[in-house]
Structure 1
Amino acid sequence: MAHRWQLPTYGGIDALELVEVEVPEPAPGQVTIALSAVGVNPSDYKTLGGGWNADESLLPLPVGQEAVGVIAAVGADTEIATGPVAVGDRVVAFKITGAFAELVTVSAADVFALPDTVEDVEAAGLLHVGVVAAELLALSGATEGQTLLVHGASGSVGVLVVQLARRAGIRVIGTASEANQGKIREFGAEPVVYGEGLADRVRALAPEGVDAAVDAVGSDESLPVSLELVGDPSRVATLAPGPAAKEAGVKISAGMMPASIQFRMPQRAVILDLAARGDLVLPIARTFPLAEAKEALRFVSSGHPGGKVVLTV
């Protein structure tokens, strides 16, 4: 038996319940992981209220998509994504179901050996935002020597876009609050304060123009400013797939889109390797114990966590 958070009925964060469940033994192609840290993402709370995608047949709905832990059991004739595995090995898993838990049995194909150079808390929050950042950068079409505008550059997705872009030889101008200007400068971006007059401030930094833009925050100004500065909607990428983005014809990254899934999943190993070599760093805003998962989700839903939020088990 193990504790896990699940949603018995659609009702938002407050409807979540911490329950004790029987964790199944792993079948062939599966492993059981004793978890130590769990990543918290906006998508974890966005489905809790139901809405257009509510499916009563999925209830009670386990919560959580990424986690770190040690192998507790291995199904017969089973290897994980990175190869052979044994009980006691440190691993990271994404994309899985039911990560807000003490123990979980999942498909071995979504589990990766965790290098000793990556700590549990950072690894637990790395893969989801990492693959999104990689997709956004690819969709923008920015290449070496060009200038990229990144909205929300101090957030957990944005700061990884900055690092990936700088590794590719791309100049980055990143929007952030006054308090976070130093944070994105540390990762090689040229900071600019968001808000009224943003387009003019970017032009002052890049009078020769901006070649592409990434919206890693979904704010009201991100899309119009990007289109104004870049001009070509095919060179603008966003993680906010609303009507305005679709009408404008910009590139969209969304977890339920087949094209996004196809791009993201192979990137898991790439992101993990970069982190293992110290070439990609994920700032952690705050950790919460597993028992305080509701508080962690409310903190993330505030829209300004200032980095990745992780549950510790």
Structure 2
Amino acid sequence: MSMKEPSPNTPATTSRAVQFESFGGPEALSIREVPVPQAGSGQIRVRVTAAGLNPMDWFMTSDAQTAARFGLSLPCGFGTDYAGVVDQVGDGVRQFVAGDRVFGGALSRAVADYVVVDEAGTIVAGGEAHRTPDGVDDRTAATLTIAGRTAAAALAVVNPGAGDTVLIGGAGGGVGVFAVQLARLAGARVIGTGSATSADALRALGAEPVAYGDGLADRVRALAPAGVTAAMDLHGTDTAQAARDLGVPDERITTIAAQIDGITPANGANAPQSALAEIAGLVAAGRLRVPIAATFPVEQIRAAVELQAGRHVHGKVVIDL
């Protein structure tokens, strides 16, 4: 007997979710059929249309010990940034109705047909949702939460403004594309580190490109003889060390992927409350653009993660669902 397609009026009972049966690299990811989750009290269910990838996604799930630090256990989902449409609303929800376009974060469970999030939750506890402004498509909305929050937190530490020259390490990466533009919008001059192949992409964002690697401080000195006044290291510690060599005080240096004694790290969880709405508004107004380097159907999740984990992508990688 041939299988009948469910009629459009019959709600689906199973859905797809990308999961780990064992922690590891992209090879450990698989697409599973799972029951469609249901929104409980104070929750909404989102039909996910796009999920943006971040380095933290594969870092958190690389081994059991790291996963445990983030409260993750097997079987485990994958991905945190999502965008889509509310399709079920639980009791007591006031801010959203079915049909609303939303974006947000749900820790390590976003690459799935459906995600259930709390109306008043956080990325780590229950998941969170924000209204997607008109003029922001779902693929772009799916890139905003983690990278936008992290960039806003980094800016809050160094507080760039008119008269500042800011050195940004890893300027072409997922967080860098936001940090460069936000610093420029704040009135600062931006020098961004990257590979030779990223120079045009950095210029397009408003940064003056400089090659990373040995001799960075000398190359920056040649570009900015009057000096650098602030720095954000979005990759490791090399940019932060170069900034110190250039005389930038520790309180105007921040890192996101490493800790250095005396330097305040930036954590997206500490970003200003209004940061995401402001960033989404800037995108809607055409004042901030998110370069999307590649999109993949969910069936190609392993290839997408391999590309993103190579750390040479200029912009964001997005999964279509």
Question: Cα RMSD (Å) of the superposition?
Answer: 1.9
Gaps of 5+ in 2: 1-13, 121-127
1:271 to 269, 273, 279: 279
Partner of 1:71: 86
**Contact (CA 8 Å) 2:160, 2:186: kept in 1 or not?**
no
Partner of 1:20: 33
Bigger shift: residues 140-149 or 66-75: 140-149
Query: What is the Cα deviation at residue 221 of structure 1?
Result: 2.7
CA distance in 2, matches of 1:151, 1:235: 14
1:306 to 292, 309, 314: 314
Query: What is the Cα deviation at residue 264 of structure 1?
Result: 5.4
CA distance in 1, matches of 2:159, 2:29: 40
CA distance in 1, matches of 2:223, 2:79: 40
Amino acid at match of 1:40: L
Between the aligned residues of both structures, percent identity stands at: 38
CA distance in 2, matches of 1:140, 1:18: 41
Partner of 1:36: 49
Q: 1:250 to 1:102 in 2, by over 3 A?
A: same
1:182-234 deviations in Å (ceiling 9; x for gaps): 2222222222222332211211121111111111222x632321211134222
**Contact (CA 8 Å) 2:82, 2:106: kept in 1 or not?**
no
**Contact (CA 8 Å) 2:296, 2:318: kept in 1 or not?**
yes
CA distance in 1, matches of 2:26, 2:274: 31
CA distance in 1, matches of 2:38, 2:242: 52
Bigger shift: residues 61-70 or 89-98: 89-98
Is 1:58 aligned to 2:73, yes or no? yes
Is 1:177 aligned to 2:195, yes or no? yes
**Contact (CA 8 Å) 1:145, 1:171: kept in 2 or not?**
yes
**Contact (CA 8 Å) 1:26, 1:105: kept in 2 or not?**
yes
Query: What is the Cα deviation at residue 96 of structure 1?
Result: 4.4
Query: What is the Cα deviation at residue 22 of structure 1?
Result: 1.1
SS at match of 1:286: strand
Query: What is the Cα deviation at residue 268 of structure 1?
Result: 1.9
Amino acid at match of 1:199: A
CA distance in 2, matches of 1:268, 1:231: 29
Q: 1:12 to 1:179 in 2, by over 3 A?
A: closer
What is the TM-score of this pair, normalised by structure 1?
A: 0.89
1:210-263 deviations in Å (ceiling 9; x for gaps): 111111222x6323212111342221111122xxx333x212124xxxxx5132
SS at match of 2:62: coil
Q: 1:159 to 1:71 in 2, by over 3 A?
A: same
What is the TM-score of this pair, normalised by structure 2?
A: 0.87
Counting only pairs closer than 5 Å after superposition, residues 151-300 of structure 1 correspond to structure 2 as 151-218=169-236, 221-241=238-258, 245-247=259-261, 249-254=262-267, 260-263=268-271, 266-300=274-308
1:142-183 deviations in Å (ceiling 9; x for gaps): 332111111121222112111101111111111122222222
Query: What is the Cα deviation at residue 5 of structure 1?
Result: 1.0
Q: 1:162 to 1:71 in 2, by over 3 A?
A: same
CA distance in 1, matches of 2:227, 2:55: 33
Is 1:115 aligned to 2:133, yes or no? yes
Amino acid at match of 1:8: E
Q: 1:49 to 1:191 in 2, by over 3 A?
A: closer
Query: What is the Cα deviation at residue 292 of structure 1?
Result: 1.3
**Structure having the larger proportion of residues in helix:** 1
Query: What is the Cα deviation at residue 95 of structure 1?
Result: 4.2
Partner of 1:89: 100
Aligned residues: 299
**Contact (CA 8 Å) 1:7, 1:62: kept in 2 or not?**
yes
Query: What is the Cα deviation at residue 88 of structure 1?
Result: 2.0
Partner of 2:152: 134
1:105 to 103, 106, 116: 116
Gaps of 5+ in 1: 255-259
Q: 1:57 to 1:277 in 2, by over 3 A?
A: closer
**Contact (CA 8 Å) 2:231, 2:240: kept in 1 or not?**
no
Query: What is the Cα deviation at residue 11 of structure 1?
Result: 3.0
Query: What is the Cα deviation at residue 265 of structure 1?
Result: 5.2
**Contact (CA 8 Å) 1:285, 1:306: kept in 2 or not?**
yes
